[in-house]
Structure 1
Amino acid sequence: MTPIVFYFDVVSPYAYLAFEHWPEAMVGCSHVVEYRPVLFAGLLKAHAHKGPAEIAPKREWMFRQIEWLARRHGVASMRTPAPHPFNPLALLRLSLACGPAGRMPNRRIVEAVMRHAWQGQGADPNDPARLASLRAQLAPQRDPDSDEVKAELRALTDAAVARGIFGVPTFEAQGQLYWGLDSLPMLREALQGTA
């Protein structure tokens, strides 16, 4: 099985769509996935770049495109949170806190935090009652607000920057990086040895 690292931030609609589309996109490819949370804002800062939602015309295009992509990929339940961009720190830290130090969240945990943000009928992902409900559902092993978990997320983001990652989603396989939802066919071909 080919190991693949899936770098994500829940704030990214493209990371969410890639997550949902992943099983279909990789059918027939022997692989194992490590889901690695990183702070997209940290990547942007490191590369002195603005996020797509911070540039008005790009933001307008992005939300038109993701609505179309969601329909195209059969993710009809996707709804953009009313506050976007939103601060993803609570969700990223929660995903890490669900396991012991150094262990990345599994697909079930990532699915829960992603769907919390993108299938919430447009609700604020940081609404205290919604966050408390999600936290109760996931029952993290560690305190998501602990210095340990905060430092772990910073270290993962710093390591991603050092690796050359500039955006999410990014996939790493066989020593190569693939950026964006639209890179999934390229990654698939690489795994099949035809890229």
Structure 2
Amino acid sequence: MMSSSKKVVELFYDVVSPYTWLAFEVLCRYRSVWNIELKFKPAYLGGVMHGSGNRPPGLVPNKFLYMSTDLTRLSGYFGVPLSPPSNPFEAMFEKGSLNAMRFVTAVAEREGDVQVERVTRELWKRIWSTDQDITQPASLTEAGLKAGLSADQVEELLTLAKSQPIKDKLKSVTNEALQHKAFGFPCIVCHVNGKAEVFFGSDRFELMAHCIGEKWSGPQPDKPTAKM
């Protein structure tokens, strides 16, 4: 018999990763379907890649070419408005996401999960849907305002994001991901019977459901699955 207590599911993520956006939206949709408590864990992908010795896909030309085609197909399947930016390599690896993830961490510390979800989604939309900057304060401000924060709140959060406690918090959560042997994002950790079950990628939900004793009904559980 399945336990009535909710299983904790942690999502370690960085908005620079488009595949993590897919996982983020799926987990948000399944919060009311599966018996889980979803915890957002904003971290820094650059730190995880460096700490694990992994190579970004942009450094492997064939992987990078495949990614654009793959994301277009996944957008329709997952129902997420993915549209690669005009210069994905610059967006992902040259500009980076450190400022953005410090901002998200500040939101997490000050405003809580509801606003973290909204702000995070707006940042993903900027970089992976409308080809906009996520590094400059003006860009972070716009994302915060669209997420429902007031101008005063955003200003406070931008200041907080530059503080040492927030920098330390982001580093701590990034190290936590590395302790789970993360080598990229999304890194999803399901706590089952006292054990941490770690899943990488946005294509492991069927296996994850089996692991936590739930049913996988596709990336959009509110829509009926088409019959063959």
Q: TM-score range by the shorter chain?
A: 0.7 to 0.9
Residue 114 of structure 1: how far off its partner (Å): 3.3
Any idea what the Cα deviations from partners look like across 1:19-62, whole Å, max 9, x if unmatched? 12224456631000111011111111112221112322111111
Q: Rg larger in 1 or in 2?
A: 2
How do 1:101-180 and structure 2 match up within 5 A?
105-119=112-126, 120-136=129-145, 137-138=148-149, 139=153, 142=157, 143-173=160-190, 174=192, 175-180=196-201
Distance 2:198 2:30 in 1: 17
In the alignment, the residues of structure 1 paired with residue 124 and residue 134 of structure 2 have an alpha-carbon distance, to the nearest angstrom, of 5
1:71, distance to aligned residue in structure 2 (A): 0.9
Post-superposition, which runs of at least 4 consecutive aligned residues in structure 1 deviate over 6 A?
none
Residues 63-78 of structure 1: pairs in structure 2 closer than 5 A: 63-75=68-80, 77-78=81-82
Which of 71, 76, 83 pairs up with 1:79? Answer: 83
Is residue 91–residue 113 contact of structure 1 (8 Å, CA) maintained in 2?
Answer: no
The answer to whether the aligner puts 1:57 opposite 2:62 as a matched pair is yes
**Normalising by the residue count of structure 1, what TM-score does the alignment of the two structures yield?**
0.86
Q: Which has the higher contact order (CA 8 A, sep 6+)?
A: 1
Letter in 1 for 2:186: P
1:46 corresponds to:
51
In structure 2, the gaps of 5 or more residues are: 1-5, 216-228
- C-alpha deviation, 1:156, in angstroms: 1.1
User: How far did 1:179 drift?
Assistant: 0.8
Count the aligned residue pairs. 192
- TM-score, structure 2 length as denominator? 0.74
The answer to whether the 8 Å contact 2:16/2:96 transfers is yes
- 1:61-120: CA deviation from partner (whole Å, max 9, x where unpaired): 112101110111112x3222344214111221111112437x9x5154234223323345
Contact 1:8 1:170 (8 Å CA) reproduced: yes
Helix, strand or coil for the counterpart of 1:156? Answer: helix
Mapped contact 1:96–1:149 kept (Cα < 8 A): yes
User: What one-letter code is carried by the residue in structure 2 that aligns with 1:57?
Assistant: N
Compare 36-45 and 78-87 and name the one that shifted more: 78-87
Residues 177 and 187 in structure 2, CA contact (< 8 A), matched pair in contact too:
no
